[in-house]
Chains A and B, each alone.
Chain A
C-alpha cells in the first residue's frame, strides 16, 4: 500500500496537476495574444450604445474594468493574480452579461448538461456493449443482424441530424414531447413529482438522440472487439471444456473485450463538461453547449475561457480516475 501511494498514486497526481496547470496557462495566454484590448472594446461598446459619459466617468469606468479583467500590473503580476482568483473559484465577470460572474453562469448550466449527458452516455455504453458482444457471439441470431444493420446505418449520420429527425417526428408530427427547453421559463425548480416529470419530458428527446447515436458507436466498437477476443485461446479453451455459452460470454469474452471500452467511457465522460453543443442548440437546452454557443456568438472570451478551464479539468480528472480504477479491471497493469 505504501508502495502504491509513493510509486503510483503520488506521481500520477503530480502528472494530473501539471496537465491542468499547463492547460489552464495556455487558455490564459491565448486570448491575451489578441491585439484587441477588452477594456477599450467594452468602453467603445458602451459609447456606441448611445449613452453619454463625461471624460471623468469614462476614466473611472476604464479603471474599474481594468481591475475586473485582471489587467493591472506587469504580465507576471496579472498571471499570479489570475491563479489567486482561480483558487477562490473566481473566473472573472462575463463580458456579454456583465457583471455576472462566469462561475455562476457555469454553475447554472452545468447541472443540466451533466444530468443529460451522464445518463445518456451510461445508457448507451451499457446497452451498446451488451448488444455488441451478443451480436458478435451469436452471429446467426436474426435480431442481432437487424440491430447490426441499423447501427451501421445510423453510424455515419451526425447526431444533430438524428436530433432534428426526432424533433420533427416526436415534437411536431406526434407532439408527445416538448420541442425545446428544459423547464418552463420563469418557474423555480422545486422538489416535486411534477418537476421531475417535467424535466424528464423535456430531456427525453435530446437523450434519445444521444443514446441512439452513442449506442450505435459503442455497438460497432464492441462487436469488432468481441470478434477478436472470440478466437483467443482462452475462449476456445472455455468452449472445449464444455462451459455453457452464457458463462463464456460474461466470464471470458466481455471482461476482456470491455477493457478498451472502459477507457473510451472515461474519455467520453471527461468530455461531458463541454456539453453537446449542437444538440443543446437544436433543443434549446440550457446546458454547457448552449452557454458555449452564446459565448462564442457574443465574443465573450472570459466565459469561453471559463468553459475551457472546466473542460480541461474534466478530461484530466476523468483520465486520472481511469488510471486509478483500471487495475481493477485488468490485473496485468496492477502495480507489483
Chain B
C-alpha cells in the first residue's frame, strides 16, 4: 500500500492581466507513487514545476494555481484521504504537520524576523497539539532539538543571529516535531556551502532512518539525489520523463534528458569540458508540441515533434517517456 498515489495530475496557474489570460501548465499529467519508508527524489532544472507539484500534493494550493484534473490519494493508517477534497479546517488541524510537513524552498527566510525562534515552535505546537504547560513545551522542544543535534539555546535567538545552515536545520526540526508520515523538503540545501549541505542531508537521512517515514526530497542538484535518494524522478517542463531506483537512474539512464543531466555531473579527475544543453527551458505557458524536450534533444526525430511519447515501463521500478525508448522496447 503506497503512502501517496498520484494519477494524471494536472495543475495550472491561470492568470489574467490587462485582459490577456495566461495559462502556465506547471504540472501536466504527472503520475507517481510514494512508498512508506523511502526517500524519493524529484530532480529537474529550475522552473520545471517541482515546487508547484509539491504545493499541490501538500494541499497548499492558492489561486492562481488550480488543480485541473487527476487524483491524489494518501493512505494514513489504512485510511484513504483524497487530499484535494479535504475541508480546509480538517486539513489545517489534522493533516498539516501531523501527517504531512513541509520544509519550504527558501527556508532561510521562513522565520519571523521580529520574534524569537521559540515563538514559531510555540505556535506550531499550540496549533497541533495544544500543550498548556510551559515547562512541558520547553522540554518537548529541547528534547527534539537535542535529538537532532541542535543546541537548544537557538530557541532564544532571533533569526538574524543564526547562520543559513542553522535556519535550514530549524526548518527541518520544525517539520519533524510531530513525526509526520511525509516530510517534503524543497531545495533544502541549495543556498548552503558543501560542508553545511552534507550536515543538513545527514540530518534528513537520520530522521528518516529513525522514524521510518517518507521523505520527498526536491532539488535540481543531481549530486544530492545520488547521495540521499532511494528512488529518483526526473521532471522536465511540468512532466515526469523518467523514474527509477537511484542506481538505475545514475547507472543506466534511458531518457535523453536524464542522460544529459548525468553526463553533466562533475567527475573527479575529469578535465574535459561538459556539454551544455542547447536552448533555453521551455515556456510553460506555451510548451512545445509532441515531446516537450524535442527542441533541445540531440536525438529528436520527426515523430517527436508531433506525438507526445507515452510512459514506458522498462522494469518493475524503472520507467521513461521517450519515443526512442519505446522503439527499442518493441524491437
**Which positions in A face B, CB cutoff 8 Å?**
232-234, 236-244, 247, 251-252, 255-256, 259, 329-332
Contacts and interface: CB of A to CB of B under 8 A. Distances in A.
Interface in B121-166: 123-124, 127-128, 158, 160
Given A232-B109, A256-B114, A332 B158 contact: yes
B14 interface: no
B174 interface: yes
Nearest to A253: B112
B114 A238 contact: no
Nearest to B91: A242
A240 B109 contact: no
A236 B104 contact: yes
Contacts of A256: 112-114
A256 B114 CA distance: 7
Interface residues of B, number: 27
Given A236-B104, A237-B104, A332-B160, 14 more contacts: A233-B106, A234-B109, A241-B96, A241-B124, A242-B91, A242-B93, A242-B96, A243-B127, A247-B123, A256-B113, A259-B114, A329-B114, A331-B114, A332-B113
Q: Most B CB atoms within 10 A — which of A234, A238, A255?
A: A234
Given A233-B109, A234-B109, A331-B158, A243 B114 contact: no
Contacts of B97: 241-242
B60 A240 contact: yes
Q: Most B CB atoms within 10 A — which of A233, A238, A240, A255?
A: A240
B206 to A, nearest CB: 22
A252 B60 contact: no
A252 B174 contact: no
A186 to B, nearest CB: 53
Contacts of A234: 109-113
Given A233-B104, A233-B106, A256-B114, A241 B160 contact: no
Contacts of B91: 242
Interface string B79-109: 0000000000001110011000110101001
Nearest to A254: B114
A177 B111 CA distance: 51
Contacts of B58: 240
Contact residues of B: prevailing secondary structure: mixed
Contacts of A329: 114
15 contacts: A234-B109, A237-B104, A238-B112, A238-B120, A238-B123, A240-B60, A240-B104, A241-B124, A242-B92, A243-B127, A256-B113, A259-B114, A329-B114, A330-B113, A331-B158
Interface string B52-66: 000000101000000
Contacts of A330: 113-114
Interface string B23-49: 000000000000000000000000000
B110 A237 contact: yes
Contacts of B104: 233, 236-237, 240
A331 B174 CA distance: 22
* 5 nearest A-B pairs in the assembled complex, by CB-CB distance: A242-B96, A237-B110, A233-B109, A242-B92, A331-B158
A115 B311 CA distance: 76
Nearest to A333: B160
B309 to A, nearest CB: 35
Contact of A251 (B96, B106, B112): B112
B301 interface: no
A241 B91 CA distance: 10
A247 B111 CA distance: 15
A321 B106 CA distance: 36
B329 to A, nearest CB: 41
Nearest to A252: B112
B196 to A, nearest CB: 19
Q: Most A CB atoms within 10 A — which of B102, B123, B158, B160?
A: B123
A232 B106 CA distance: 11
Given A237-B104, A255-B115, A331-B158, A242 B110 contact: no
A104 B61 CA distance: 66
A251 B121 CA distance: 13
B119 interface: yes
Nearest to B112: A234
Contacts of A240: 58, 60, 96, 102, 104
Contacts of B92: 242, 244
Nearest to A232: B109
A332 B160 CA distance: 7
A269 B92 CA distance: 42
Nearest to B124: A241
Contacts of A244: 92, 127
Nearest to B60: A240
Contacts of B110: 233-234, 236-237
Contact of A241 (B113, B114, B158, B174): B174
A330 B158 CA distance: 10
A233 B104 CA distance: 9
Contacts of A232: 109
Contacts of B113: 234, 256, 330-332
